[in-house]
């Protein structure tokens, strides 16, 4: 995947991270986990070498449960799931 092909993923991941970071800053553990994974995705999509992948991705599941089923942010949960799918596809 070239950097140009990663641009839409980078844009989505940055946008999602901007929405999740305030929740993580409040100490909400699910948001902290999602934010950690999104930060890795931003680095990956921008082509920055860096940390190893933070284990198996779980941000999609966490987002679906905490932001959609029990929360009030179903659109954000959907975007986070799309990001996870795109990154997993790129890594396959």
37 and 58 Cβ atoms separated by less than 8 Å: yes
Instruction: Summarize pLDDT for 19-71 with one digit per residue, the tens.
Output: 999 999 999 999 999 999 999 999 999 988 677 887 899 999 999 999 999 88
Supply the pLDDT for residue 1: 62
Asked if residue 84 has pLDDT above 80, the reply is: yes
More confident residue, 55 or 3: 55
Supply the pLDDT for residue 50: 74
Supply the pLDDT for residue 64: 96
Domain enclosing residue 8, as ranges: 3-91
Supply the pLDDT for residue 26: 97
d(Cα 24, Cα 9) in Å, to the nearest integer?
21
pTM of the entire predicted model:
0.92
Give the helix/strand (H/E) hosting 6: helix 3-25
What is the count of structural domains for the chain? 1
């Amino acid at each position: 995947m070239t950097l140009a092909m990663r641009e839409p993923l980078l844009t989505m991941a940055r946008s999602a991270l901007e929405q999740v970071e305030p929740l993580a800053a409040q100490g909400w553990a699910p948001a902290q986990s999602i934010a950690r994974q999104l930060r890795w995705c931003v680095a990956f999509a921008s082509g920055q070498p860096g940390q190893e992948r933070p284990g198996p991705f779980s941000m999609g599941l966490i987002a679906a449960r905490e932001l959609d089923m029990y929360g009030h942010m179903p659109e954000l949960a959907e975007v986070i799931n799309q990001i996870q799918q795109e990154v997993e596809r790129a890594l396959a």
